[in-house]
Structure 1
Amino acid sequence: MAKRATPWKEGKVISIETRKGVFVIAQMLKRPYLRFYNAFREDENWGKVDVSIFDTLFTKGITTKSFLKHSNVSVVKDAIPDTDREDSKTWIKGYSGNRKVKVWEGTEDEEEFYILGSEVGGSLVDRDIYKSGGYDHSSGLFDKIIIEDIPLNADDIIDNHETMGLGVFPLTNERLYQCYKAGKNVDPTKDLKFNREIPKDYKIAIEIMSGGGGKENKERILDTYFR
Structure 2
Amino acid sequence: MSKRATPWKEGKIVSVETRKGIFTLAQMLKDPFLRFYKVFREDENWGKVDTGIFDTLTVSAVTGQFLKSSNITEIKGAIPDILREDPDTWIDQNKGTRTVRVWENTEKEKEFIILGKEAGGSLVKKNLWWSPTPGNTTRPHPSGVIDALVLEDIPLNANDIIDAHDLTNLAVYPSLNERLYLCYKLDKNVDPYKDLVFNREIPEEYNVAIDIMSAGGNAEKKESILNTYFR
Normalised TM-score (structure 1): 0.97
The separation in 1 between residues aligned to 2:194 and 2:76, in whole angstroms, is: 33
Q: Deviations over 1:174-204 (max 9, x none)?
A: 0000000011100000000000000011111
Distance 1:213 1:30 in 2: 32
Q: Deviations over 1:117-140 (max 9, x none)?
A: 001110000111112222112222
| Other structure's SS at 1:39 match | strand
1:145 is the counterpart of 2:144: no
Say yes or no: does 1:164 pair with 2:163: no
Name 1:67's counterpart in structure 2.
66
- Aligned twin of 2:23: 23
Secondary structure of the structure 1 residue equivalent to 2:225: helix
Report whether the alignment pairs 1:189 with 2:197: no
Deviations 1:120-177 (A, max 9, x none): 1100001111122221122221011111111111111100101000000000000000
Is residue 2:10 matched to residue 1:10? yes
Aligned counterpart, 2:208: 204
Aligned to 2:37: 37
Deviation at 1:116, TM superposition (A): 0.3
- 1:96 is the counterpart of 2:84: no
Q: In 2, distance between residues paired with 1:77 and 1:118?
A: 44
RMSD: 1.0
User: Which structure 2 segments of 5+ residues have no match?
Assistant: 133-137
Provide runs of 4+ in structure 1 moved above 4 Å: none
1:224 corresponds to which residue? 228
Which TM-score applies when normalising by structure 2?
A: 0.96
d(CA) in 2 for partners of 1:106, 1:55? 40
Is residue 175 from structure 1 mapped to residue 174 from structure 2 by the alignment?
no
Structure 1: 5+ residue stretches without partners: none
Query: Structure 1, residues 43-96: CA drift from partner, whole Å, max 9, x if none?
Result: 101011000110000001000x21111100100001000000010110000010
Q: Secondary structure at the match of 2:207?
A: helix
Aligned AA for 2:153? D
Map 1:119-130; keep pairs closer than 5 Å: 119-130=118-129
One-letter amino acid of the structure 1 residue matched with residue 20 of structure 2: K
Alignment pair present for 1:47 and 2:55: no
Q: Cα distance, 1:213 vs. partner? A: 8.6
Which residue in 2 is equivalent to 1:109? 108
Give the counterpart letter for 1:125 in structure 2: V
State the distance in 2 between where 1:69 and 1:131 align. 25
Distance (whole Å) between structure 2 residues aligned to residue 124 and residue 2 of structure 1? 39
Aligned residue pair count: 226
